[in-house]
Amino acid sequence: MRVLLVTGKGGVGKTTVAAATAVRTADIGKRVLVMSTDPAHSLADA
């Protein structure tokens, strides 16, 4: 299964949703790769 989250600009919780999705997926034993092109590096701080 592959899940791809692609969103636009604006502060509506996208980083939180991406991080939570990755954590939950890893918790159930799936391999997870999280990549971000955000120059603010918000996901790395989550």
pLDDT attached to residue 28: 96
Please tell me the distance from the alpha carbon of residue 26 to that of residue 3, in angstroms, as a whole number.
Answer: 13
Task: Name all contacts of 30-36 with Cβ < 8 Å and 24+ positions apart.
Answer: 30/1
25 Cβ contact list (under 8 Å, min separation 6): 3, 32
pLDDT attached to residue 46: 56
- Domain regions of the chain by residue span: 1-46
- The DSSP letter of residue 13 is S
Please tell me the distance from the alpha carbon of residue 2 to that of residue 30, in angstroms, as a whole number.
Answer: 10
Element of type H or E holding 22: helix 14-27
pLDDT tens profile 1-46:
787 777 777 777 888 888 899 999 999 999 999 887 777 776 766 5
